[in-house]
Amino acid sequence: MATATLEAVIEANPALRAALTPRMTRYIPVAPHPKQAAFLLLPQLEAFYGGAAGGGKSAALLMAALQYVDIPGYAALILRRTFADLAKPGALIPKAQEWLAGTDAAWSEQNKTWRFPSGAVLAFGYLEHEADIYQYQSAEYQSIGFDELTQFSESQYRYMFSRLRRLKTSNVPLRMRSASNPGNVGHDWVKQRFLVEGREHGRVFIPAKLADNPSLDSTEYVKSLAELDPITKAQLLNGDWTARMGGSKFKREWFLVVDEAPAGLSWLRYWDLAATEPKPGKDPDWTAGACVARKDGVWYIRDMRHVQARPQGVEALIRQTAELDGRGVPVRMEQEPGASGKSMIDHYARQVLVGFAFSGAPATGSKEVRANPISSAAEAGNVRLVRGPWINAFLDEAEAFPNGAHDDMIDSVSGAFSELTSAPAWRVL
């Protein structure tokens, strides 16, 4: 249907027009572009507006925050990593000043808050350090927005859900809204949360590019972006979430995904141990356990267990995984140096994995050196990944190694490679 015809149909149908028109207030002085309007219409708790630079992300967040400021008791918060980021030219505080100056809304420079005649508030805040989440510990909001979400840690983002509350009598929806370009320290978790898991968990991703924001002089901006390196240009110009500053060891395309492994392989489960549960403001290491086999020079990884948990939770996972693998699959665990490492291995041998072929495996050399055999085998096309839900996270970590936030899965596979290369043949299953 031609655009003109579609517009005529909408104009002739008041109910359809109402359904396609987001709630606006007089404090939003501009009309949203189509992608922004789609973002403002979403009823879901969690939504992400992301992609290329210049797609109108900040304006979309500010519009979302202002949609209900005419309702008494409404409170919205917009966050950046630092206050300096909020105050830069074209950033959210100057944009809000541009929109709200001259209205009956009142600005408090001390509190960085706009207050409206209804009693509603729009606040601007920051989460520069992990512990900064606690400054919002007693606050409650109906709308929270993260600008440039990939600059935040996942633990910061998830903690702020605890600040979304409303009275039973309120009809204002609770909303967590965010926007960002690809790249930066949070690239992996944002991609996983919204692009990989999003639909399954009711999280909506609205991709937006430069062409979706006709307010911007795109010709000149494209010229500016042309000066960037290829990876950053792909991220900012095209909104490409697969383009990233990878590490020096792995490329995604080196790994071949197969539906199943051949019969008659000798499997080994190797654990890289961590025993810290994620807490607000903390992003500790993960416990990772890879199940690996080798045959005729080809390596197979059939499963990866990956968890952040307390010691009791880690022990339960390792025991359960051993039961599922079967007693014919040996279990190895990286043994930290010193008495504490020996004590941990002894604990697992006596208390957790009794009856299984278990032992510690002291690791030598740096993580990068230990990963070299996997890198070489993968580059030669000799590493197969058995299809499963763990693969995407593994490939993200591998591609970023050794520059990524975590390396636990690579460490566990490195350990398995070392054990299978140096130890006697395991039982064939």
The tens digit of pLDDT for each residue in 163-200 reads 999 988 899 999 999 999 887 778 888 988 998 899 88
The whole-number average pLDDT for the span 380-386 is: 95
3-state secondary structure of 106: strand
Asked whether the predicted pLDDT for residue 233 surpasses 70, the reply is no
Q: Average pLDDT over the chain, rounded to whole?
A: 86
391: CATH: 3.30.420.240
Residues 226 and 279 in one domain: no
Asked whether the predicted pLDDT for residue 69 surpasses 50, the reply is yes
DSSP letters for 269-331: EEEE-------TT-----EEEEEEEEETTEEEEEEEEEE---HHHHHHHHHHHHHHH-TTS-E
- Inside any domain, residue 116: yes
* pLDDT tens readout for residues 322-350: 999 999 999 999 988 888 889 999 999 99
Residues 280 and 404 in one domain: yes
Here the tokens at position 119 are 């009693």
- Inside any domain, residue 246: no
What is the pLDDT, as a whole number, of residue 12?
65
What is the pLDDT, as a whole number, of residue 15?
61
* pTM assigned to the model: 0.59
Domain of 294, in residue numbers: 252-422
Residues 312 and 370 in one domain: yes
How many other CB atoms are found less than 10 A from the CB of residue 331?
24
Residues 126 and 182 in one domain: yes
Residues 275 and 171 in one domain: no
Asked whether the predicted pLDDT for residue 112 surpasses 50, the reply is yes
- Inside any domain, residue 2: no
Q: How confident is the model at residue 269 (pLDDT cuts 50, 70, 90)?
A: very high
Q: How far apart are alpha carbons 314 and 389 in whole angstroms?
A: 20
- Inside any domain, residue 243: no
